[in-house]
Structure 1
């Protein structure tokens, strides 16, 4: 079982080191097809990639922050991540078919 950390940010890498997270593979971008059942993926990923990770029977841990608008769009240091209450939160995401408003055939979101 592999623990992946998906980030290109040095502040996040340092934050993980400080927390004592055991990371097997740090990557800038994740190829979901490389993830195996039982793996753990840590990062801030788009929901469609999280669904693919979960579909492969891996665990997804989101690096969540309480980030104010003025701090968005720039590199954050490990200290700033701490200040913005960085934490890991487990999510399970499942892609489901739906129909757009006005379409008459196909399943709805439930």
Structure 2
């Protein structure tokens, strides 16, 4: 089983490490075809990729933050992330029109 952390933001990677999250591979770009049964994917993926992770037997943990609007789009540090309530939330998605 592999744990992937998907982020291109250095602050997010630092946050994950400082919070003790085990990560086997940190990726800036993610191809869900690499997911195998039992893998974990951490990050902020669009819903269609979350559904594909789940279809392939993986679990998805969304990196959630309570960011004020003036901070959105700016690089933030691991400490900033803690201040804004960074957390990993377990989600599942399924495409229904197949």
- Give the Cα separation in 1 of the matches to 2:96 and 2:72: 30
Q: Per-residue deviation at 1:96? A: 1.1
- Pick the structure with greater CA Rg: 1
| Higher RCO (CA 8 Å, separation ≥ 6 residues) | 2
> Could you say which residue in structure 1 is the equivalent of 2:29?
29
Aligned positions of 1:1-110 closer than 5 A: 1-97=1-97
In the superposition, the TM-score normalised over structure 2's length comes to 0.97
Structure 2 gap ranges (5+)? none
Structure 1 gap ranges (5+)? 99-110
How many correspondences in the alignment? Answer: 98
In the superposition, the TM-score normalised over structure 1's length comes to 0.86
Q: Per-residue deviation at 1:57? A: 0.9
- Give the Cα separation in 2 of the matches to 1:76 and 1:45: 19
Structure 1 runs (4+) deviating above 3 angstroms are none
The Cα RMSD (Å) is 1.1
